[in-house]
């Protein structure tokens, strides 16, 4: 795992965006998997600015949303699909047909997940991931098998408590649908993102602790092309 450390969140967002512009330039058809959550938003803002300035384009690229909450109203802005659309996909030149998302309301969720795996096809060129407070990746909670595919999952209590930040009401979802660890670990390139002192302990555990399924993010240490991007606070507990 490569470690890239930045002094401030602004430098971190701008640093990740520089790499992202480069990846889009060398492969305009970049197939990406992207998370919602609060962590990536400053990076998304940098990419929106880059596209507006003519420094990057998503015109030939494709985006798959990493996960989605269940039992949430279709128009709830806390839905992962709406968050990624609002902060990035709808604000850049990505064609609507190149934006893929999970539908927890699908009548047959298993069939819907198999379809998503088929659409993912030969895997992602690039995946961006936040780190859950319990080390989860997407909604792959501790104990998720490394070979898991896209599926319905129950959320852990820490994830439910943390997800409350995304919703303006108290009806916080307790389950969701997520891209599995298999396609995550099979991505050609993985960028793990962490900011803020609240992520310092889990980030240290991911970097220094044992590699095991109880901390899904630790499995990325075996990935051949994974970079961890931290700013000073998230990276405060390790060198």
Which residues belong to the active site? 67, 134, 136, 141
**Residue 37 touching ligand PGA (CB under 6 A):** yes
Q: Which of 42, 70, 104, 130 binds ligand PGA (CB under 6 A)?
A: 130
Smallest distance, Å, CB 162 to ligand PGA? 6
- Round to whole Å and give the CA distance between 200 and 56: 32
Cross-strand partners of 126: 32, 189
CA dist list (Å): 134 to 22, 65, 73, 143, 212: 32, 21, 26, 11, 13
Compare residues 87 and 136 and give the one whose CB is closer to ligand PGA.
Answer: 136
Range 149-188, binding ligand PGA (CB under 6 A)? 162
The 10 Å Cβ neighbour count of residue 44 is 24
- Cβ pair 149, 113 in contact under 8 A: yes
**Residue 78 touching ligand PGA (CB under 6 A):** no
Token look-up 């009806």 returns 171
Compare residues 159 and 239 and give the one whose CB is closer to ligand PGA.
Answer: 159
Smallest distance, Å, CB 25 to ligand PGA? 27
- Choices 9-17, 32-40, 112-120, 230-238 (CB under 6 A): range interacting with ligand PGA: 32-40
SS3 content of the chain, % helix, strand, coil (to 5): 40, 20, 45
- Cβ pair 191, 128 in contact under 8 A: yes
**Residue 70 touching ligand PGA (CB under 6 A):** no
Q: Which residue is nearest to ligand PGA (CB)?
A: 37
DSSP string over 68-107: EESS--TT-TTSHHHHHHHHTGGGTT--GGGEE---TT-S
**Residue 42 touching ligand PGA (CB under 6 A):** no
Half-sphere exposure of 64 (CA within 13 A, CB side): 30
Token look-up 């609507």 returns 96
Total of residues contacting ligand PGA (CB under 6 A): 7
Compare residues 60 and 165 and give the one whose CB is closer to ligand PGA.
Answer: 165
Smallest distance, Å, CB 158 to ligand PGA? 9
Smallest distance, Å, CB 53 to ligand PGA? 26
Pairing of strands 126-130, 175-178: unpaired
**Residue 39 touching ligand PGA (CB under 6 A):** yes
Compare residues 148 and 162 and give the one whose CB is closer to ligand PGA.
Answer: 162
Q: Which residues bind ligand PGA (CB under 6 A)?
A: 37-39, 130, 132, 136, 162
């Amino acid at each position: 795992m490569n470690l890239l450390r930045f002094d401030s969140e602004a430098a971190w967002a701008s640093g990740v965006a520089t790499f992202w512009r480069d990846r889009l330039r060398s492969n305009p058809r970049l197939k990406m998997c992207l998370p919602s959550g609060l962590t990536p938003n400053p990076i998304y803002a940098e990419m929106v600015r880059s596209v507006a300035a003519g420094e990057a384009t998503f015109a030939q690229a494709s985006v798959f949303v990493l996960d989605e909450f269940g039992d949430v109203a279709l128009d709830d802005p806390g839905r992962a699909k709406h968050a990624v659309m609002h902060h990035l996909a709808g604000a850049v030149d990505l064609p609507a047909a190149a934006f893929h998302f999970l539908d927890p309301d699908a009548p047959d969720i298993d069939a819907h997940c198999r379809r998503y795996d088929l659409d993912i096809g030969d895997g992602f060129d690039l995946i961006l991931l936040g780190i859950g407070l319990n080390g989860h990746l997407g909604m792959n909670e501790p104990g998720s098998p490394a070979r898991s595919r896209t599926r319905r999952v129950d959320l852990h209590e820490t994830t439910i408590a943390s997800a409350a930040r995304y919703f303006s009401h108290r009806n916080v979802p307790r389950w969701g649908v997520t891209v599995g660890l298999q396609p995550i670990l099979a991505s050609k390139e993985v960028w793990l993102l962490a900011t803020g002192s609240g992520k310092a302990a889990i980030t240290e555990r991911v970097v220094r602790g044992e590699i095991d399924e109880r901390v899904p993010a630790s499995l990325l240490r075996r990935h051949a092309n994974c970079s961890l991007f931290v700013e000073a606070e998230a990276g405060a507990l390790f060198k």
